[in-house]
Structure 1
Amino acid sequence: MTVRRALAGTIATGLLAAAAALVPVAQADATDPGDLPFGSATTVGIHNTYDPAAFAHLADGLDTGTGMIELDAWTDTVTKEWKVSHSNPLGNSNNCAAATTPAQLYTGGTNKNLETCLDDVRIWLGAHPGAGPLVVKLELKGGFAGNRGMGPAQLDALIAAHLGSAVFRPADLLAKPGGGSYPTADEAARAGNWPTRAALAGRALVYVIPGSVEESNPFDTLLTDVEYARHLRDLAAAGRTGDAQVFPAVHGAAAGDPRGKYGETSIRPWFVVFDGDAAAYAGGIDTSWYDGRHYLLTMTDAHNVAPAISATDPTADQARARTQQLARAHASIVSSDWRKLPAVQGLVLPRG
């Protein structure tokens, strides 16, 4: 545990700002990473962090200081459980531990449901209050099953029960510092209403993307992004935005405003998170469009940007240079499988 404590101290030193308040800050040229607004920083993320081949326990992945973890989940409509696995929709295959204390994060039995993975995140953040903010990327491999009791509302309830007050919700983005709130996530983001990183220490933002199986299923006509965005829109109309625990994300790199693919214009203002292939973004897409509007932009498979580097074992200098390159290209999160480079995983750079 000595190495973990030392690493936790390094993370805390880099992220804490002693007098930070939960208010947005307009400037993005702060010298202390904690002073950066959340939407004006670039961090690094780990793809498929739950994979036992990546880490013995999910907490080991969190110990790297990463800015993002990724969980793949399936809706098991028979047991009404959210299974965490890459390819098994009926069983768990993951490194999430059945823990109730920080020490048990590294010793508990693994292969648990989504709620246990979220418990691990909550317990780890509680033990490292200066760490983060952490982004939790949730890929629903087969999508929601709202008609069988596993829809957005049920996911909200699960996240609220297991992450609790650690979650930075859409309602938190909407809230104006002086009172009142912005009507949509788009307006709040464009106003620069993201708190500083220091103000969000110890907290997590969850976003959801459609799963690879769902996107290839010709019979699925309601994908995760649309379904959750409708849910969030309807909650806002009912005055219940605070119930929402998740940010829906536009999946796939595209030029211009990729929200134009949604025929329902009423859901477009609820997308302020975007997720797509780094090589596609670097191939000529104007990514300053995202940064100028303070939208969050995850660039995946960062290793594939030319010249390609190793997906799992680049040198620290290579991974650091790639992160710096994509930070200049306006990424919020640079995602790959650089599991053995905590010095890179802990990077926090000014965006742009």
Structure 2
Amino acid sequence: MNARRTFAGSLAAGLLAAAALISVQSADAATGPGELPFGSATTVGLHNAYDPAAFGYLAQGLDTGTGMIELDAWTDTITKEWKVSHSNPLGNANNCVTASTPAQLYTGGANKNLETCLDDVRVWLGAHPGAGPLVVKLELKGGFAANRGMGPAQLDSLIAGHLGSAVFRPADLLAKPGGGAYPTADEAAKAGNWPSRAALAGRVLVYVIPGTVEEGNPFDTLHTDVEYGRHLRDLAAAGRIGDAQVFPAVHGAAAGDPRGKYGEAAIRPWFVLFDGDAATYTGGGIDTGWYDSRHYLLVLTDAHNVAPAISATDPTVDQARSRTEQLARAHASIVSSDWRRLPAVQSLVLARG
């Protein structure tokens, strides 16, 4: 077992060294990847990185140098636990382990709650202080259950308790470098107030989307995005925006300003992150440059389906790199995929647009 862990550690170190070199070579010739503002870069992310079929341990997904991992979570209102699995709302099915040291990231029993997955991220970043920024995409499969004590405030508390100061919060986006703050996330983003990637090394940005079960539930009339958008609005009004740990995302590609679907105009300025199908975004009829010009973050999912389609899991390095470059030109902030065995692509940092 010790020999296997030594080999795994050596392999991970080699992959990270290669990834760092590739990332430097891939950035705009005049601007290194660290100097790019966070909102002006394109990186690659891993869909369902928590899946044991993808990686034996979550840390192995992080070892690829990826810019994003996705976690699916359920509110278990019976035990008041946030379960991490694809389809079991009452149990865990994931590759998160109970680690307090870097060595423990690659050993021990898996199938833990959300807080343990976040602990794994924190421990891994502690061992790789120059890595990141890392985006954690959180799909709340069934949505919040605030009426049962599992709402936005409880999620904020959990994230703050397990990621601590590593979190890049909405309040951090609002803060002006010379003092003071922008009143909304929209105004801060349009002002280009994203820090450089170098300034965000070791940091984590968490965003949430409504889950597939929630979106398909005709009895659920308050979805995750609206609920967290209201939460941000109310915290800001109360002078407590620093409590918020999460960015809500507008889910689903649409033409124009997709925030128009929200009937409550007061929550619209709290959405600066958009998540949807890459083929829909790039298939015509949607101006993706609109997002880039306003410095909004745009996550393009199922990157393999953009014409011409390539393998969802095992394209060649050249195919995956070409697709990433194609979507960077299409103004993606993150290109989401299941390219689990391509660290040379997962670690890319490109100039956006």
TM-score by length of 2: 0.95
Mapped contact 2:23–2:347 kept (Cα < 8 A) = no
Task: Give the C-alpha shift of residue 10 in structure 1.
Answer: 4.4
Q: Deviations over 1:21-67 (max 9, x none)?
A: xxxxxxx9852011000000000001000000000000000000000
1:65 aligns with 2:65: yes
- 1:2 is matched with 10
Q: Which amino acid aligns with 1:255?
A: A
Q: Which amino acid aligns with 1:157?
A: S
- 2:334 is matched with 333
Task: Give the C-alpha shift of residue 278 in structure 1.
Answer: 0.1
- 1:200 is matched with 200
- Distance, in Å, in 2 between the alignment partners of 1:329 and 1:5 is 32
Q: Which amino acid aligns with 1:61?
A: G
- 1:110 is matched with 110
- Distance, in Å, in 2 between the alignment partners of 1:148 and 1:11 is 44
Task: Give the C-alpha shift of residue 242 in structure 1.
Answer: 0.5
TM-aligned CA distance change 1:152 to 1:141, over 3 Å = same
- Distance, in Å, in 1 between the alignment partners of 2:182 and 2:20 is 31
- Distance, in Å, in 1 between the alignment partners of 2:116 and 2:126 is 15
TM-aligned CA distance change 1:29 to 1:171, over 3 Å = farther
TM-score by length of 1: 0.95
- 1:90 is matched with 90
- 2:323 is matched with 322
1:32 aligns with 2:40: no
Q: Which amino acid aligns with 2:167?
A: V
- Percentage identity across aligned positions? 83
Matched position secondary structure for 1:324: helix
Q: Deviations over 1:212-263 (max 9, x none)?
A: 0000000000000000010011001111010000000000000000000000
TM-aligned CA distance change 1:248 to 1:99, over 3 Å = same
Mapped contact 1:15–1:130 kept (Cα < 8 A) = no
Task: Give the C-alpha shift of residue 3 in structure 1.
Answer: 1.6
- Distance, in Å, in 2 between the alignment partners of 1:196 and 1:15 is 15
- 1:344 is matched with 345
Q: Which amino acid aligns with 2:256?
A: G
Matched position secondary structure for 1:340: coil
Matched position secondary structure for 2:155: helix
Matched position secondary structure for 1:91: coil
Q: Which amino acid aligns with 1:350?
A: A
Matched position secondary structure for 1:89: coil
- Distance, in Å, in 2 between the alignment partners of 1:29 and 1:178 is 30
1:253 aligns with 2:261: no
TM-aligned CA distance change 1:267 to 1:116, over 3 Å = same
- 1:22 is matched with none
TM-aligned CA distance change 1:12 to 1:313, over 3 Å = closer
Matches within 5 A, 1:151-230: 151-230=151-230
Mapped contact 1:11–1:131 kept (Cα < 8 A) = no
User: Runs of 5+ in structure 2 lacking a partner?
Assistant: 1-8
- 2:3 is matched with none
- Distance, in Å, in 2 between the alignment partners of 1:341 and 1:5 is 15
Q: Which amino acid aligns with 2:347?
A: G
- Distance, in Å, in 1 between the alignment partners of 2:237 and 2:144 is 22
- Distance, in Å, in 2 between the alignment partners of 1:8 and 1:29 is 21
- Distance, in Å, in 2 between the alignment partners of 1:6 and 1:157 is 36
Q: Which amino acid aligns with 1:148?
A: R
Mapped contact 1:8–1:131 kept (Cα < 8 A) = no
- Distance, in Å, in 1 between the alignment partners of 2:289 and 2:212 is 27
Task: Give the C-alpha shift of residue 9 in structure 1.
Answer: 3.7
Q: Which amino acid aligns with 2:11?
A: V
TM-aligned CA distance change 1:185 to 1:51, over 3 Å = same
Task: Give the C-alpha shift of residue 14 in structure 1.
Answer: 7.0
Mapped contact 1:52–1:94 kept (Cα < 8 A) = yes
Task: Give the C-alpha shift of residue 172 in structure 1.
Answer: 0.3
Q: Deviations over 1:270-293 (max 9, x none)?
A: 000000000000111100000000
Matches within 5 A, 1:241-320: 241-284=241-284, 285-320=286-321
Matched position secondary structure for 2:132: coil
Matched position secondary structure for 2:311: coil
- 1:54 is matched with 54
Q: Which amino acid aligns with 1:5?
A: A
User: Runs of 5+ in structure 1 lacking a partner?
Assistant: 17-27
TM-aligned CA distance change 1:220 to 1:30, over 3 Å = farther
Task: Give the C-alpha shift of residue 338 in structure 1.
Answer: 0.3
Task: Give the C-alpha shift of residue 5 in structure 1.
Answer: 2.0
Mapped contact 2:20–2:347 kept (Cα < 8 A) = no
Matched position secondary structure for 2:196: coil
